[in-house]
Structure 1
């Protein structure tokens, strides 16, 4: 079993930082293959129900009449999500194009709220009236126009967002694919361009990070340690970058914990820089062997396992206090947290 940097003195780390980089790398885990569903996740049978309703209301995707499609979406709101997926747009993109095409102001806030409301309760008919109905009619009208028109000509060095197997030639492409199924090679290619589950992954990115924070909370609570968990974008006096946890409180910070998960090495570098900065703040105007507070990094994801130099910087910035999900059970005993244990 490797010796971890939090088990030795800072002097020992300085003698052989590379060895401790290997130790942290050995226990880093990645969960990029598994994602939380989160609130508003749409199961396939529900999505398929909306698909079939839209298919029926458009005569097998051969006739996109705004009035008919609007009727379907009011009775089966999930078909709105299906329609957006056919376009390949995010909710704000659909709203922006609609505002341009129709002159009706469809704000990002409106279309995001509409999309979320449908995903949270996909089988509940929506009550559309007033401004909401006007905006929905504009969205539907725009979608019908785009899906019917197909791809306009663009320069040879450009790619149009509707240049997809199911929308390239408008109605002809849609009806063909609905009848014969999508060619597998083309399906894989389109996934390659957009990454499978990209939209869902983006929508639950905060939940992925919450799993690590919840694990830290459990460790602290089991030991009876007082802590302050900060909120996103919260401002704490004395910190230009608010840490995730402050022990025992922001009025007397003795220990701060940063909880970071990333599957991307570029993002990992940004997070390492953040942790370095907190380490620098702890030493501001103080001798190197007497920091104002202890900085602890709790990390996860394959992004941190790419650049050795970045990991070395993190180990040095925290004086060895780098933990992963596999070593969280040793968090209290190997840091100043043990001074605040009451259980």
Structure 2
């Protein structure tokens, strides 16, 4: 029968830590195949409509007229997102190149806000006036120039961002792919270079961990436990980085809960170091058997299941208090949280 580290004392853990590492590994689940859509997710039919609109106004991508494209993006702004996708740029990259080429200051903040505004309401016409008009015109002008010209020659040990199947030869490449469809092998190759859904995953990275935090919050609420859930980048006295949960409050921290999800082992190492640091803070000026507060780690994702040494460090730093989504139902029973339980099932 599997025994988890939170069910054992620290001496028992140290006697056979590998057994407890295996037990945590056995219940780690990865969520990398499923991502939240998040606010501003553009459904394919909406994106396709913008593509067809752009295709029509350019006569099947035969001629990119900045003035005509500008008028289309005002009435059907999702076309602007399509244009950026053709470039293969992030919003800040597009803004930077546009500033360089036109002399118009297209700031990172502006172009990010514009892109998000369009994705949040893709069917709402753009309100273009003054500096907004000037910047949008600069973006479109730059895109038309780059897409019409194609990829310039670079050194053999370099790769130009426009050296893609649809933009390498300028308009002729775009026309060919729009008319005959993209060769599947080439599409797969470009996906290997950039990995599918990378941009979307980056855009929702802040909410990937929300499922775990919500599950913890539900456990605490159902048990009637007072807690303080901190906000990102919030400053809490006594902590150089604010923990995810403080029980019962930041004025009298008795229990600290860190909720961490990662699919990358390098990121997992950083998160383990963070939990170790909290363990060290809890013992600052205190006896090892009398920490200032109990540190609990609630983790998820395949990143934590790669390095055994990192898991060992986490188990020892929390004195065995490591939980996953599968064992979260035992969170209260096997920690000091039961001391603050005001509601029993």
Q: What band does the TM-score fall into relative to the shorter chain?
A: over 0.9
For 1:89, the equivalent position in structure 2 comes to 89
Matched residue SS, 1:174: helix
The RMSD of aligned alpha carbons is: 0.5
1:11-30 equivalences in 2 (<5 Å): 11-30=11-30
**Runs of 5+ consecutive residues of structure 1 not aligned to the other structure:** none
Q: State the shift of 1:10 in Å.
A: 1.1
C-alpha distance in structure 2 between counterparts of 1:205 and 1:151, whole Å: 31
Instruction: Between 315-324 and 123-132, report the one with greater CA deviation.
Output: 123-132
Task: Find the aligned partners of 1:79 and 1:89 in 2 and give their Cα distance.
Answer: 15
2:256 partner SS = strand
Q: CA deviation at 1:8?
A: 1.1
> What residue in structure 1 maps to residue 153 of structure 2?
153
Q: Secondary structure at the match of 1:243?
A: coil
Q: Deviation at 1:246?
A: 0.4
Equivalent position of 1:191 in the other structure:
191
For residues 240 and 121 of structure 2, the distance between their equivalents in structure 1, rounded to whole angstroms, comes to: 40
Could you give the per-residue CA deviations for residues 233-291 of structure 1, whole angstroms, max 9, x where no partner exists? 11111111211100000000000000000000000000000000000000111111111
Runs (4+) of structure 1 exceeding 3 A deviation are none
Once residues 330 and 205 of structure 1 are traced to their aligned partners in structure 2, the CA distance between those partners, rounded to angstroms, is 28
CA offset digits 1:23-62 (Å, max 9, x no partner):
0000000010000101110000000000000000100011
Shift of residue 14, structure 1, vs aligned partner: 1.0
* CA contact 2:233–2:241 (8 Å) conserved in 1: no
Cross-structure match for 1:54? 54
Q: Distance in 2 between matches of 1:86 and 1:2?
A: 52
Structure 2 gap ranges (5+): none
Residue 71 of structure 1: how far off its partner (Å): 1.1
Matched, 1:225 2:229: no
Question: Any idea what the Cα deviations from partners look like across 1:53-83, whole Å, max 9, x if unmatched?
Answer: 0000100011001011111111110000000
1:282 aligns with: 282
Partner Cα separation in structure 2 for residue 314 and residue 24 of structure 1: 11
Q: Which residue of 1 aligns with 2:118?
A: 118
Looking at structure 1, the residues matched to 160 and 2 of structure 2 have their Cα atoms a distance apart, in angstroms, of 52
Q: How many residues align?
A: 343
Q: Find the counterpart in structure 2 of residue 315 from structure 1.
A: 315
Mapping of residues 124-273 of structure 1, within 5 Å: 124-273=124-273
Classify the secondary structure of the residue corresponding to 1:312.
helix
